[in-house]
Every structure is written in structure tokens, then in C-alpha cells.
Amino acid sequence: MKKPGKIALATIGVPLFLSGLMVLDAHFRAASVIGDHETRLATEIGAFRFRQQPSPLLLPEDTRETPCFAYEEGHSGQKRIWEALTALIQFPMESADKVMESLARCQEILLENGLMHGPRRFEFENLFLERLRELLGSGIDGAPRFRRMATLLDQLQARRLSSADLRLGEHLLDRAEVLNAFQNGDPSLGKPGWRELYSRRILAAKLLNQLEEKVRRPLVDQPDFLAEDLRNQAQWRLTRAAIAVMIHHRENGSLPEEMHGLKLSGGVLQVEGTSLEWTFPTH
């Protein structure tokens, strides 16, 4: 081969060879990112489940009957959550015990959730807690019954997912959604462009890295969620305080003179800074 031909071949071949190496390196890096996320996702889900306490009201067979939506299913696996939650409203709530059971089932349904469906918990928990306060003066006799109810309510509240839990849950669901779409060839992953070298693997790795950046942003970006979270916490406080008032009345025949952090006047209990209140049942 003449010298000019060799030069032309080198001019074309070397860039092509280097480009090929870059493409291979990008694919190897993407595979490493995906493998790392798969391992971390499984570890983080396992750690979350290890921290959770079993429901104080539901037996193992009860939890098996309650619809469960696992983190591994991603957001796509949670499409029937609203249906499961609305079914709880049809559950009989004519007694305090039934309301407490509905509250426990609501927690079980939303145990592995994120910021998308998690706030729906507030709506249902608030409904059940309001109904429970309405029933405190009906069919519950003696301080021991109220004390048991107070203990169960404390245990349920301890299982209540915090804002940080829901944010972690959202991050788990986001990554599970991307990984599932990639592994199953689901078009929801999106179409890779030239920036991703038209590779679904590189696109999946890019999306996973973007999710890592997203989770570092402060939660103050969602003020409505934080406000609803605080209001829901106030509902729990008011209900727990109302039960404490009932216990005091059953044991002493009178209402307590004061309640820490709450206002009690004329038999009306209020959470300061909110419009929430409960009236002591006189019947």
C-alpha cells in the first residue's frame, strides 16, 4: 500500500477505533451504574422493611387479605391504590374498634409508598380519626377500654410514615420504575437519542443518575405537602388528647384543668394554631 493510502486509512481508522472504544466504555459504565442501583435498591428496601413494626391490630392473616403495594413494583404497581383505599370507606365504621381497624388497614395499604400517593393517606387518616373522636362517647365503658385504645393509637402513630420516609419511598419507587422499564423493554423508559448513543442501557443509567440528583433537593419545594403533613399530625394529637380527656373523666368524674399544648375550655378541646377541635360528649 502506498504511503498516501496508509495515511488516509490511519486518518479514518484511528478515529473510528477510538470512537468504538468510547462507545464500549459508555456501555460498561452504564452497566455498572445499573448494577449498582439494583444492589442499593434491594438493600434500601430491605432496611426499610426491617425498621417497620408489625401492625398492633392486624393479624398476619389480616395483612394477607389487605392489598399490598411493594416498592419493587415501582409506580406502575401502585395504580390500584385509590381503589383499595376507597374500599375502606365501605368497611363498617359503627364502632371505635372498627374505625381503628380501618385506620390500621389504611396504614398497611400505604406502607410502601411515596410522595405521589402518600399524601392520600392524610385524607383517609383524617377521616378515620375524626370518626373515632365522634364515637368516643358511644359504647365505650370504663377507663381500661380507653387506656387500651390509647395504647393502640400510640402504636399506630409510631408506624406513621414521616415526610422523610415518604421521600425515601418516592426515590425507591422512581428507581424501581426505571429499572423495571429497562429490564422489561417497556417503552415508558423513553427513546434514547444521540446523546445516549441510541442505547436503552445508557438512557436508563442517565435517568438513574438524574434521580440521585433529584433526591438531594430540599423538601421545601413541596410546601402543600408539608402543610398537610402538619395538619395530619395535629389530627393525631387531638384524637390522642381526646382519649386522655375521656380517661381522666372516667377515673375522676371531671375534665382535666389543662392539657399540654392544647386548649381545653368548656368541654371543647382545641389544637392551638389550627381550626381543629373536639367537644366532650355529654350524652
For 163-208, the pLDDT digits (tens) are: 888 889 999 999 999 999 999 999 999 999 888 888 899 999 999 9
Amino acid of residue 78: Q
Using CA atoms, how far apart are residues 240 and 36, in angstroms rounded to an integer? 44
Residue 242, domain extent: 30-254
What pLDDT is stored for residue 242 in this prediction? 92
Q: Is residue 91 part of a domain?
A: yes
Q: Is residue 64 part of a domain?
A: yes
* pLDDT of 17 strictly over 50: no
Q: How many domains does the chain have?
A: 1
Q: Is residue 274 part of a domain?
A: no
What pLDDT is stored for residue 200 in this prediction? 92
Buried b (16+ CB within 10 A) or exposed e, 91-105: eebeebbbbbbbbbb
Q: Which DSSP string corresponds to the chain?
A: --HHHHHHHHHHHHHHHHHHHHHHHHHHHHHHHHHHHHHHHHHHHHHHHHHPPPPSS--HHHHHHS----GGGTGGGGTTHHHHHHHHHTS--SSHHHHHHHHHHHHHHTSS--TTTTTHHHHHHHHHHHHHHHTTTSS--SHHHHHHHHHHHHHHHHTPPPHHHHHHHHHHHHHHHHHHHHHHT-GGG----GGGTT-HHHHHHHHHHHHHHHHTS-GGG-HHHHHHHHHHHHHHHHHHHHHHHHHHHHHHSS--S-BTTEEEETTEEEETTSS-EEE----
Residue % of the chain over a pLDDT of 90 = 34
Tens of pLDDT along 105-144?
A: 888 888 888 887 777 788 889 999 999 999 998 877 788 9
Q: What are the cell numbers at 112?
A: 410502601
Q: What are the cell numbers at 74?
A: 415501582
Q: Is residue 14 part of a domain?
A: no
Using CA atoms, how far apart are residues 225 and 161, in angstroms rounded to an integer? 13
Range of lowest pLDDT (47-51, 184-188, 203-207, 272-276): 272-276
Question: What are φ and ψ of residue 68, in 5° steps?
Answer: -125, 135
**Dihedral sign, CA of 37, 38, 42, 45?**
positive
Q: What are the cell numbers at 180?
A: 423495571
CB 180 within 8 A of CB 6: no
Q: What are the cell numbers at 98?
A: 372498627
Residue % of the chain over a pLDDT of 70 = 86
Q: Is residue 123 part of a domain?
A: yes
What pLDDT is stored for residue 45 in this prediction? 94
Q: Is residue 249 part of a domain?
A: yes
Q: Is residue 275 part of a domain?
A: no
Q: Is residue 227 part of a domain?
A: yes
